[in-house]
Amino acid sequence: MNLLGEPRVGVVLGSGLGAVADAVEHPVVVGYEELPGFPRPTVSGHAGRAVLGSIGGVPVAVLQGRAHLYEGGSFDAVRAPVRALRAAGASVLVLTNAAGSLRPEVGPGSLMAITDHINMQGANLLAGPNDDALGPRFPSLRDAYDPALLDALRESARELGIALAEGVYLAVGGPSFETPAEIRAFRVLGADAVGMSTVQETIIARHCGLRIAAVSVITNLAEGMTDEPLSHEQTLRAAEVGAGDLARLLLEFIPRLSAFIPDPRAGGPTDGAGTPTPGAGDATSRAGGATPGAGTPIPRAGDPTPRAGTAPPPPCSPLS
């Protein structure tokens, strides 16, 4: 058996956001030291363990702790957990993080669904030889943050009465926080929130056909927007405030994902209406456009026929 069990949904928890792991039913805890290639977290607020079990009947693997580029370790420590989830059978990845807000009205404690990203980390962890068995050389990142999953997030938030902002997450390399001038520049670029994680995981996940939903917990207004200088301790304190709402949101959202999980007999992910959807590497194109992958229009329940030409995502090789 795979060391991660047989999850259908992977969840990566950001700094100080461990509360979701407490809600896993019938939990089995596996330390990252037992999982080949997984990081040894060096940052407080990141536990370094996987909690396997289910949430609302959906088999999950909740990863508490992730590698960041600023830790200076192997890039594999970022890639391995994502690919291990895919290899273990996950088709959806839920990414969470702590982030600074560039919008004064979205303050500490708020939640923001990520609709797109800007990678300012100066790296792309798909660089190097491509493993064609995992995914294509040039994966599309159009609709990297899955529109249908975003709808389900919105519905979950509405159901709970939780305000859910939406916006573009810009990733910096860190570990220093940004300068006020950088924040002004990032605002011009179209960023709504800034952080030091998530985008590489999204790239690796889309490459191997995982569908992504991502939520930032806003821990601070970005540098230069308030009088208080930023610190990691302040980030962790504020994360605690948002973590409660994040846990409630994900506990409502994850059970809804059963509608998106592929029927094992069909052999590929579905779109929420039970229809198989393509992975990033598929050769199908959206109607009226040339971009393959998660951006393909998604039929709703009740649509008469599934799209023609869809195929399951490329397989990921087992964790080695």
Task: Supply the residues annotated as catalytic.
Answer: 15, 46, 68, 70-71, 98, 196-197, 220, 232
* Closer Cβ to ligand HPA, 94 or 218, answer by number: 218
Judged by CB under 6 A, the residue of 35, 113, 125, 194 near ligand HPA is 194
Between CA 29 and CA 39 the distance in angstroms is 16
* Closer Cβ to ligand HPA, 228 or 303, answer by number: 228
CB 96 within 8 A of CB 10: no
Between CA 293 and CA 154 the distance in angstroms is 22
Residue 114 β-bridge partners: 167
196 lies in the site for ligand HPA, by CB under 6 A: yes
Least CB distance to ligand HPA at residue 57 (A): 33
121 lies in the site for ligand HPA, by CB under 6 A: no
Q: Which of residues 78-97 bind ligand HPA (CB under 6 A)?
A: none
Between CA 58 and CA 25 the distance in angstroms is 10
Per CB under 6 A, the segment of 63-71, 127-135, 191-199, 242-250 that binds ligand HPA is 191-199
279 lies in the site for ligand HPA, by CB under 6 A: no
Judged by CB under 6 A, the residue of 43, 52, 92, 98 near ligand HPA is 98
Q: Which of residues 208-247 bind ligand HPA (CB under 6 A)?
A: 219-220, 222, 230, 235
195 lies in the site for ligand HPA, by CB under 6 A: yes
Residues lying near ligand HPA in the complex (CB under 6 A) are found at 98-100, 177-178, 194-196, 219-220, 222, 230, 235
